[in-house]
């Protein structure tokens, strides 16, 4: 089986990542709807903990942290859905016959920017809720993979730009 083009590994991966993205978006919509209706929480018997209902079990949390936990959880699920959707667009673009195109370069740039979002979110969040030694613990260590993926994507984008330039030059020669 070929790597790029129609009926390739890239076209199969496009469908897989698109399906995962749609499923996560449906979960996000479900969670937001439950949150707005208020059906996702109730107090335990002793009134101390809030019980958050999921499809696979229960999560106990302190009432003071619950709203923050809920917002961060929705952000994470929504972000992952967007992330997988952009990955599916990359595979869709490279499954075309011409791998080097402006569309692929644009999607790769968007993907690089999206990879820096968790780092920026954690940085802003930790600056607004100031704690000692927050930078290395929360911002750098937990988001290092995203930063490296973003930098790697920028390098791959530069390679695709160069490939597009070479392809256009070759198309002009006889």
pLDDT digits (tens, 9 = 90+) for 105-129: 999 999 999 998 888 877 777 777 7
Query: Which residue stretches of the chain are H helix?
Result: 9-37, 63-94, 102-128, 134, 141-172
The radius of gyration computed from the CA coordinates of the chain, to the nearest angstrom, equals 21
Q: Which residues contact 58 (CB under 8 A, 6 or more apart)?
A: 51, 52
Q: Which residues contact 104 (CB under 8 A, 6 or more apart)?
A: 90, 93, 94, 160
Residue 163 has pLDDT above 60, yes or no: yes
pLDDT digits (tens, 9 = 90+) for 37-89: 666 555 566 655 555 555 445 454 555 555 565 666 777 788 888 999 999 99
């Amino acid at each position: 089986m070929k790597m790029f083009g129609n009926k390739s590994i890239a076209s199969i991966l496009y469908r897989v990542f698109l399906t995962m993205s749609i499923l996560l978006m449906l979960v996000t919509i479900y969670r937001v709807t439950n949150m707005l209706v208020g059906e996702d929480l109730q107090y335990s018997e002793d009134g101390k903990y809030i019980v958050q209902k999921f499809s696979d079990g229960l999560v106990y949390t302190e009432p003071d942290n619950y709203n923050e936990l809920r917002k961060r959880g929705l952000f994470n699920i929504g972000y992952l859905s967007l992330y997988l959707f952009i990955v599916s667009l990359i595979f869709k673009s490279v499954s075309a016959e011409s791998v080097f195109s402006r569309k692929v370069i644009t999607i790769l740039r968007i993907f690089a920017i999206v990879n820096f979002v968790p780092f920026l979110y954690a940085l802003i969040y930790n600056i607004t809720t100031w704690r000692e030694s927050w930078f290395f613990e929360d911002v750098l260590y937990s988001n290092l993979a995203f930063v490296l993926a973003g930098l790697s994507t920028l390098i791959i984008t530069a390679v695709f730009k160069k490939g597009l330039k070479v392809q256009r030059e070759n198309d002009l020669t006889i």
